[in-house]
Amino acid sequence: MKIDFALILTLLALFTGLIWLADKFVFEKRRLAADAAATDPVLVEYAKSLFPVIFLVLALRSFIAEPFRIPSGSMMPNLLIGDFILVNKFSYGIRLPVINTKIVEVGEPVRGDVFVFRYPGSKELGKEDPAAGTDYIKRVIGLPGDTISVEENRVSVNGVPFGYAEAGVYVGKGVSSEMTGSRIYTESLPGKSHTMLEMDGVPLGYRNNGTWVVPQGHYFAMGDNRDRSADSREWGFVPQQNVVGKAMVIWLNCSGWFCTDSFEPSRIGTKID
């Protein structure tokens, strides 16, 4: 079950704020008129103490930066299971919490960005996807109006192919060891490059090949672990209103209770490109 922390924080801020305001402008005057030495009720004391803290956390999380944990290996080798990252909530415009409506234009995703978004859900079989609304992280490959072609993990945008160069064999640790032996490639986009993984032994035709035209107001997203990523090749485009923010930095790597599965201090402070 997805926990909506933004909704929880918003409701708590409203609840404590309303108690504080109601007491300040209505009940406090009545209480002091009856007894000048009267103290605040316990609920009011808690509201006064908690509201500023909750409001500050909500504001920072909604408009500045929000923490996320990487739950899968779809962005390997650049993001690993157990990476805790900070997502810039300002880069793509200021949005209201919960409803995610943009109120201030700042910028838009550009090709090559690693971004977090709310999974739009698969439309297969006409069923509602229970995972819709879950936070996903992928790389921006296609912008509105682009024609994207993918053939055996090789991408072309508007007829121009990306560049590819083999960069070695991946050796993972801990929970990432399952991808050991995969090929590392450097994928060169116009003005930017990054690494990606490709598994040996995946039969031709088992990869998601095809051509897509990105609608206005949408993005085409792909994972860097190309043979282990459910992305726009499978479930379609990312609507602009689903965008949450731009991935910035890894601030911790830890998986399992008390970091029993993995802890990699060298990843702390790694910039996400």
Question: Does 74 qualify as catalytic in the annotation?
Answer: yes
pTM value > 0.75 = yes
Identity at 102, one-letter amino acid code: K
Predicted pLDDT of residue 156: 97
Mean pLDDT of the chain: 90
The domain ranges of the chain are 5-63, 65-267
Which is nearest to 143 in space by CA: 109, 92, 106? 109
Which is nearest to 115 in space by CA: 131, 93, 96, 97? 93
Adjacent-strand bridge partners of 186: 165, 195
- The percentage of residues in the chain with a pLDDT greater than 70, rounded to a whole number, is 93
**Residue 125: band (very low, low, confident or very high) from pLDDT cuts 50, 70, 90:** very low
9 vs 124, residue with greater confidence: 9
| Residue 267 host element (H or E) | none
Spatial separation of the C-alpha atoms in residues 214 and 243, rounded to whole Å: 15
Given 138, 182, 229, 232, the catalytic residue: 138
Given 74, 91, 176, 182, the catalytic residue: 74
Which is nearest to 128 in space by CA: 138, 120, 136, 139? 120
Question: Does 91 qualify as catalytic in the annotation?
Answer: no
Spatial separation of the C-alpha atoms in residues 35 and 210, rounded to whole Å: 76
What's the topology of domain 65-267? Umud Fragment, subunit A (2.10.109)
92 vs 126, residue with greater confidence: 92
18-33 residue pLDDT tens: 999 999 898 888 888 8
205-219 residue pLDDT tens: 557 899 999 999 999
Predicted pLDDT of residue 126: 53
Spatial separation of the C-alpha atoms in residues 250 and 223, rounded to whole Å: 17
Spatial separation of the C-alpha atoms in residues 273 and 229, rounded to whole Å: 18
153-186 residue pLDDT tens: 999 999 999 999 999 999 988 888 889 999 999 9
**Residue 5: band (very low, low, confident or very high) from pLDDT cuts 50, 70, 90:** confident
